[in-house]
Amino acid sequence: MFEEFYQVEPTGRQAACGAHGMGLGLATVQRLAELLNTRVELSSRLHKGTCVRVLVCSAPAALPAPVTSLAAADTDEEASLANLRILVIDDERTILEGLSVVLSNWGAVVLAAQTRAEALALADAWDQPPDVVVSDLLLQGGDNGLDVIAALERHPRGIGPGTARLLVTGETKPDRLREVASAGITVLYKPVSPRVLRQAIQAQRAAALLNVDA
């Protein structure tokens, strides 16, 4: 149940209807559980139903932090994105719009693209390259974020060492993950909370600036 979904080529009526499944996404669930150091179990009984269990380690309650300290921390984090130019690439318009709203609320200047062509068109017109590129890994038409970032690097007015790079994905296939790892680009695995996204942007931006100074 938790292995990668695979479907043989449909035949007969299924082929005529263009029947292609997408799976349940349980491989992604399993990976997320492993990242959280927990476990998901599933058991079924015929004609009875299915039971899903998520095991969570107990921990002592944390002492509440002073409200002023939390507020100050949030302010510092949000201020660090003020006027930061961020290019977001995702073929899902709803996700693209959601990220644009979140990043804009943090003070960033957002450039949005759904495809490689749109991203390169932005590069043709911008006065300066973005400070950060955040791209989904899998895009429309078999394209992927790694190739789009590479295309932006080759563009005459594209991105250089001073631009931080982030990939976001729900991909779990080992060969794809090895490809991403070999590229040396930081990856965030879905679902990504706004706080984790903001921290990752800050960290990669700081690393990019160090590379330029070096």
**Model confidence over 3-27: pLDDT tens digits?**
766 666 666 655 555 555 556 677 7
- Residue ranges of the chain that CATH labels 3.40.50.2300: 81-213
Mean pLDDT along residues 55-61: 74
User: For the residues 100-128, what does the mean pLDDT come to?
Assistant: 95
Quickly state the pLDDT bin for 69 (edges 50, 70, 90): very low
Each residue's pLDDT tens digit, 179-213: 777 888 888 988 888 889 999 999 999 988 887 76
Instruction: State residue 70's pLDDT score.
Output: 39
Over range 83-98, report the average pLDDT. 92
Angle at the Cα of 208 (from 213 to 75), degrees rounded to 5?
Answer: 110
Which residues, other chains included, contact 144 with Cβ-Cβ below 8 Å and sequence gap of 6+? Answer: 137, 138
Of 87-91, 105-109, 136-140, 170-174, the range with the lowest mean pLDDT is 170-174
| Among 3, 13, 43, 8, residue whose Cα is nearest residue 172 | 3
Q: What is the mean pLDDT of the chain?
A: 81
pLDDT tens digits along 33-50: 776 678 888 888 998 899
Percent of the chain residues past pLDDT 70, beyond the cut:
78
Between 145-154 and 174-183, two packed helices, what is the crossing angle to 10 degrees? 20
**Residue 60, pLDDT above cutoff 80:** no
CA dist 60 and 183 (Å) reads 40
Q: Please tell me the distance from the alpha carbon of residue 169 to that of residue 196, in angstroms, as a whole number.
A: 14
Per CATH, domain 81-213 is 3.20.20.140 = no
Q: What would the mean pLDDT of 74-88 be, rounded to a whole number?
A: 73
pLDDT digits (tens, 9 = 90+) for 116-141: 999 999 999 999 999 999 999 989 88
Residues 47 and 209: their CA atoms lie apart, in Å, by: 60
